Chain A
Amino acid sequence: MLFGGHVFCPFCGKEIIDENQAFCQHCGARLVAEAGPAIAAAGRGKTPWEDHENTGFFNGFLKTVKTVLITPSDFFRNMRVDGGLTDPLLFAMIIGMIGLMFLSVWDILLHNPLRNFMTPEIKAAADSGMSTGFASPVGAAMMPFLLILWIFLATGMLHLFLMIVRGAKAGFEATFRVVSYSVSPFLFMAIPYCGMLISMIWVLTLVVIGLREAHETSGGRASIAVLFPLLFCCGMFALAAVVIMGAVAASFGSLMQMYK
């Protein structure tokens, strides 16, 4: 409250030193509302998937997948950063399960033929990869739950690193929605051999674009937030990519030897 150039705390009535200070120095009461997410909801709307009442379930689903894959910047720029976790999570579950089912099928049918071309060291490293055990019934039954866990853990870690690099201008929900919609390339797991590699690289690219647009931050900050945990926590994805690329190169080399 302002009286004759002096500012007083509305709770204890004592004078406040600075009218912009967040808390009263006498009683500790909060004087200004805490700054909420800095990203305005204006100009952002429901995704076609969330607007399924108008677009229809399948139409909305396909339209969302198409937009995320082809024009991700536009999609995430226009995606609202609030509105609940349920719809994006359901979308991620559907896409994720379709992709992982394909992965299981290729695992069963092809018996992971790349292993034949791996050196023992690379084979040991590949055995630690994500695809191990997908074909087992227990693994398949656990997949939906693991997918939910993965989405929440990935979101938590990404948001934490985004906060560290001062890129989290919207809330946790924005990060969650970006991660959920960014699993769209899991559909590429339908491609045998290289489907997983393609989808993983595409997912990472989409997450970077999504964080940049949803949090209205720079691409550099978004990239650091995405790549820092990957490099820091095991370098697992980078090494998996190296292992798979090495195995593919080795398989081509072996084929060339066979036809010589």
Chain B
Amino acid sequence: MRPFDYEVATDAPSAVAVVVGRADAAFLGGGTNLIDHMKLGIADPALLVDVTRLPTGEITDRPDGGLRIGATVRNSDLAADRRVRERYPVLSQALLAGASGQIRNMATTAGNLHQRTRCVYFQDVTTPCNKREPGSGCSALGGYTRYHAILGASEHCIATHPSDMAVGLAVLDASVIVAGVDGERSVPFEDLHRLPGDRPDLDTTLAHGELVTAVDLPAPGRPVRSAYRKVRDRASYAFALVSVAVVLSVDDATVTDVRIALGGVAHKPWRAHRAEAVLRGAPATVVSYERAADAELEPAAPQDGNGFKVPMTRATLVATLRDLTTEDR
């Protein structure tokens, strides 16, 4: 770790101005990922702008029946919020499936969205990594790939996004409110994170200095069924091998609306549009679910060490849909 300056932001516009003006500055939220990176030598910001005291720590009702989640709401508080548990249980479940109690007490909403891959090569400065050092190569190819992508990867990077919360948000039609030098803009959640392509060093579509201030959730609408299911290598405190978030409406044994996101399989929370397209209007049966899963996984391209993720994703998705529709609700 190198010496760095530290200042506490008092309002978003000036925080943005400071970071935009310095390429070597970074926002600091709960610090559960960035501080690790500074210790490991992955990140060495010369200035940390602490945004945790901005007035973004509240969860507020929106006029449309939705919620605005402040960027610095702690993961524990978000998971425990009664409105979240009642209206968006899939988000609460996803949050509680991640990390540990101690980490959730520190981690913020925006920080969670910005956390970086746990690819072991990214985290080890003695190995080449295109995400950490563009052009140096990808050590994961042919290496330890148990936690790596099977969808949407590139020859430059096969890392996965580690967040559970983000997978839950991906099925809620969320929007991310971003403050920049030109004011505020709203980014559809699916457009926030990006696939690696030939720029795996970029995790999101945000520019340097743009600050996430909130996440907006629209009203949940008609009664829906939802679930977050995470499969991991130990019962807690492990990143997903595979996770599935589903929001589903069924009428007369037919799927009328569905949103599915997958975690642990791609460089971003993976919205399963192919599966959704198969399911929309299809009978709510296991046969449909299997067809949907197969359609989604058709382009899957696993590595030597994670071929199991294809059948595991299929099994987890099918079982999650099955469990949501077999019990009489």
Asked whether A and B interact, the reply is no
Listed in ascending order, the chain A residues whose CB lies under 8 Å from chain B are: none
**CB within 8 Å of A: which residues of B?**
none
